[in-house]
Structure 1
Amino acid sequence: MVHNLDVIIKHAEQNCKSHGARLTIKRKQVLASLVQSEKALSAYDLIELYLTNFGEKIPAMSVYRILDFLENENLVHKLNLANKYVACSHITCSHDHGVPQFLICSSCNQVKEITINKSTIAELKSNVEQAGFHLVTPQLEMNCICHTCLSTAA
C-alpha cells in the first residue's frame, strides 16, 4: 500500500501531536496492522491479527475506541459498505487531496482509495439538495471486482 511503515507511523504521530492527541502503542499497532494489510479489516479481524502479531488479546471495545480515534485523526477510513476499515493512503502526504472514494472488491475485500475532484462532489451535493436531501458525507464506496479476482473467475 505505502512505502515505509516507520515513516507512516512517524507522520501519524506528528499528525496526532499537532492536534494535541497521542498515538499510544496500541493505537500504533492497530494502525500498523491496517497499513500492512492488503484488504479491508473488521474490528474482529484486527483482534485476531493483534493476537497473532503482538501475542496479546485486545478487547473488542478497545479496538472500536482505537478505530474511532484513528478515524477522527483521518488516519483510517471506515467502509460502511463492508463494515470494515482501511488505513488512509495519504497519511504521509502534506498536500490537499480530493474527496476519498473507495473501490471495494466484493470477492477478496481488497480496497483501493481514489480521489474524486471536489467540483464533481459539489455537483453531486447540488443534485442531492435539489432532490430534497442533505449530503451527510461525500464518501462513496463502490462495490467492485478487482482484476485479480475477475481473471481467476474466468
Structure 2
Amino acid sequence: MQQIQTILDHAERHCREHGVRFTNKRKQVLSGLLASQKALSAYELVDYCKTEYGESMPAMSVYRILDFLQEEGLAHKLNLANKYVACSHITCDHVHEAPQFLICSRCQKVKEISINKSTASELKASVELAGFHMISPQLEINCICDHCLVQPA
C-alpha cells in the first residue's frame, strides 16, 4: 500500500502543477487501477470503490474520472478491451514514448512497455504506405505472461 500512496502523491503533485484538482474520488479510482494487475472496466471500478471505500459511485462519474485521468497522463484506455490501466510512468519525470501494452490472454495481466522513436516512425511509415493514417501509435499486443505459460490451461 505504501507504493500506491507514493504514486498517488506523485499524481497529486502532477495535478497541482497542471492547475487541476485531484479529488478524493479521482484518488479512489486511480487507487483501484494501481491495485490491480489487470485492466479494469468502469463497472469494475464502481465495485472496487464500493468494496474498498464504501462509496457508491455512478458509472458515469467513473467514466468522467477515467477521462480526466487519461487527459492528465495518469491512466490509459485499452481500446480493444474497453478497459483502463494506470500509467506505469506516473512517478517518472522524463518524456515517454508511445505506450505499448502486453495483455495476457489467459489472466488479463497488463504490462506497459515503450518502443523507441525509430520503431514508431517505421510503423507510421508502413501504415501510410498502406494508404492509412495513424490516429494513435498505442499498440495492444495479445500475449501470454510467464506465469500462465508454465501453468496448465
Shorter-chain TM-score range: over 0.9
1:74 aligned counterpart, secondary structure: coil
Structure 2 residue aligned with 1:64: 63
What is the match of residue 31 of structure 1?
30
With the length of structure 2 as denominator, give the TM-score of the two structures. Answer: 0.95
CA distance in structure 1 between the aligned counterparts of 2:21 and 2:55, rounded to whole angstroms: 21
**C-alpha separation between the residues in 1 aligned to 2:69 and 2:55?**
20
Would you say 1:120 and 2:137 are equivalent positions?
no
Report the alpha carbon displacement of residue 100 of structure 1 after superposing the two structures with TM: 1.3
Equivalent position of 2:106 in the other structure: 107
Letter in 1 for 2:117: K
Paired residues, what number?
153
- Once the two structures are TM-superposed, the CA of residue 3 in structure 1 deviates from its matched residue by 6.8
Q: CA deviation at 1:97?
A: 2.3
Identity %: 63
The alpha-carbon deviation at position 4 of structure 1 amounts to 1.4
Q: Secondary structure at the match of 1:85?
A: strand
Partners of 2:47 and 2:94 lie apart in 1 by 34
Structure 1 CA distance for aligned equivalents of residues 90 and 2 of structure 2: 11
3-state secondary structure, aligned to 1:123: helix
Per-residue CA shift, 1:106-137, capped at 9, x if unaligned?
11110001110011001111111122211000
What corresponds to 1:90 in structure 2?
89
In the aligned structure 2, how far is the partner of 1:148 from the partner of 1:129?
Answer: 37
| Matched letter for residue 4 of structure 2 | L
User: How big is the shift at 1:54?
Assistant: 0.4
Q: Which residue of 1 aligns with 2:21?
A: 22
Q: Does 1:151 align with 2:111?
A: no
- In the alignment, structure 1 segments of 5+ residues that lack a partner are none
CA–CA distance in structure 1, aligned partners of residues 118 and 15 of structure 2:
29
Structure 2: tracts of 5 or more residues without a match: none
> Displacement of 1:98 after TM fit?
2.1
C-alpha displacement of 1:94: 0.2
Where 2:99 maps in the other structure, the secondary structure is strand
RMSD: 1.4
Give the letter aligned to residue 16 of structure 1. C
In the other structure, the counterpart of 1:80 is: 79
- Answer yes or no: is 1:7 the counterpart of 2:26: no
CA distance in 2, matches of 1:3, 1:117: 31
Q: CA deviation at 1:80?
A: 1.0
